[in-house]
Structure 1
Amino acid sequence: MMVPVAVIAFLGCRFAIPRRGARGQARLDWSGFLTLAISIACVQLMFSRGQRLDWFESTEIVAAAFLAVVAFYMFLAHSLTAEKPFIKLSLFKDRNYSLGMILIFMFGMLNFAPVVLLPPLLQNHAGYPDTAIGIFIGWRGFGTLIGFFVAMLTARIDPRAMMMVGFFLQAYGGYQMMQFDLNIGETQLAGWSMVQGAGIGVTWVPMTIVTFYTLRPEVRDEAMSMYHLLRNFGSSLFISIAVAEIVRATGNNYARMTEAVSPFNKLWSMPSSAGSWSIESVEGMARFAREINRQAIIIGYVNAFWMFALIGFAAIPICLLARLPKQKPDKA
Structure 2
Amino acid sequence: MAASAAATAPGVARSPNRVVITFSVMAATIMQVLDSTIANVALPHMQASLGAAQDTIVWVLTSYIVASAIAIPITGWLADRFGVKRLLLISIGGFVVTSMMCGAAQNLDQMVAFRVLQGVFGAFLVPLAQSVMLGIYPREKHGQAMALWGMGVMIGPIMGPMLGGWLTENFDWRWVFYINLPIGILAALGIWLCMDETPRGERRFDLFGFALLAMAVGALQLLLDRGESEDWFAALEIWIYAGLMVSGLWMLIVHTATSSRETVLPGALLRDRNVVTALVFSAGLGLVLFAGMALMPPMLQHLFGYPTITTGLVLAPRGVGTMLAMMVVGRIVGKVDPRLLIFLGFGLTSLSLYQMTGFSLEMDMTPVIVSGVIQGLGIGFIFVPLNTIAFATIAPNLRTDAASLLTLIRSLGSSIGISLVTVMLSHNLQTSHADLAAHLTPFNVPLADPALAARMASVGDTALVALDAEVNRQALMIAYLDDFQLMLILTLAIMPLVVLLRKPSHAPDPDAPPAHMD
Long gaps (5+) in structure 2 = 1-162, 164-178, 512-518
Measure, in 2, the Cα distance between the counterparts of 1:239 and 1:297. Answer: 17
Measure, in 2, the Cα distance between the counterparts of 1:326 and 1:71. Answer: 37
CA contact (8 A) 2:224 2:415 kept: no
Which of residues 291, 295, 298 in structure 2 aligns to 1:113?
291
Greater shift in the superposed pair: 157-166 or 310-319 = 310-319
Deviation at 1:252, TM superposition (A): 1.8
What is the aligned partner in structure 1 of residue 369 from structure 2? 190
Query: 1:73-92 counterparts in 2 under 5 A?
Result: 73-80=250-257, 81=259, 83-92=261-270
* 2:326 aligned with 1:148: yes
* 2:469 aligned with 1:290: yes
Deviation at 1:127, TM superposition (A): 0.8
Measure, in 2, the Cα distance between the counterparts of 1:48 and 1:139. Answer: 29
Which of residues 229, 237, 244 in structure 2 aligns to 1:60?
237
What is the aligned partner in structure 2 of residue 208 from structure 1? 387
RMSD between superposed Cα atoms in Å: 2.9
CA change 1:61–1:72 in 2 (3 A) is same
CA contact (8 A) 2:314 2:368 kept: yes
Letter of the aligned partner of 2:284 in structure 1? M
Measure, in 2, the Cα distance between the counterparts of 1:13 and 1:203. Answer: 29
Deviation at 1:12, TM superposition (A): 7.4
CA contact (8 A) 1:268 1:274 kept: no
Measure, in 2, the Cα distance between the counterparts of 1:295 and 1:162. Answer: 38
| CA deviation string 1:169-191 (max 9, x = no partner) | 11211111111122331122112
Measure, in 2, the Cα distance between the counterparts of 1:49 and 1:269. Answer: 40
Query: 1:175-324 counterparts in 2 under 5 A?
Result: 175-263=354-442, 265=443, 267-268=444-445, 271-272=448-449, 274-275=451-452, 278=456, 281-324=460-503
Measure, in 2, the Cα distance between the counterparts of 1:149 and 1:179. Answer: 30
Deviation at 1:133, TM superposition (A): 0.5
CA contact (8 A) 1:165 1:202 kept: yes
Long gaps (5+) in structure 1 = none
Which of residues 93, 106, 124 in structure 1 aligns to 2:271?
93
What is the aligned partner in structure 1 of residue 223 from structure 2? 46
CA change 1:154–1:268 in 2 (3 A) is same
Deviation at 1:253, TM superposition (A): 1.7
Report the identity percentage. 29
CA change 1:330–1:71 in 2 (3 A) is farther
| CA deviation string 1:215-265 (max 9, x = no partner) | 0111111111111100111011101100010011111222232223332x4
Deviation at 1:302, TM superposition (A): 0.9
Measure, in 2, the Cα distance between the counterparts of 1:217 and 1:269. Answer: 65
Letter of the aligned partner of 1:231 in structure 2? R
Measure, in 1, the Cα distance between the counterparts of 2:408 and 2:450. Answer: 53
CA contact (8 A) 2:315 2:368 kept: no
| CA deviation string 1:259-286 (max 9, x = no partner) | 23332x4x24975464398365110011
Deviation at 1:201, TM superposition (A): 1.4
CA contact (8 A) 2:321 2:376 kept: yes
CA contact (8 A) 1:126 1:184 kept: no
How many residue pairs match? The answer is: 328
Letter of the aligned partner of 1:35 in structure 2? L
Which SS does the other structure have where 1:214 is aligned? coil
Which SS does the other structure have where 1:127 is aligned? coil
TM-score (norm 2): 0.58
CA change 1:327–1:71 in 2 (3 A) is same
Which of residues 288, 308, 313 in structure 2 aligns to 1:135?
313
CA change 1:259–1:53 in 2 (3 A) is farther
Measure, in 1, the Cα distance between the counterparts of 2:314 and 2:446. Answer: 42
CA change 1:203–1:7 in 2 (3 A) is farther
Which SS does the other structure have where 1:320 is aligned? helix
What is the aligned partner in structure 1 of residue 143 from structure 2? none
CA contact (8 A) 2:389 2:504 kept: no
Which SS does the other structure have where 1:185 is aligned? coil
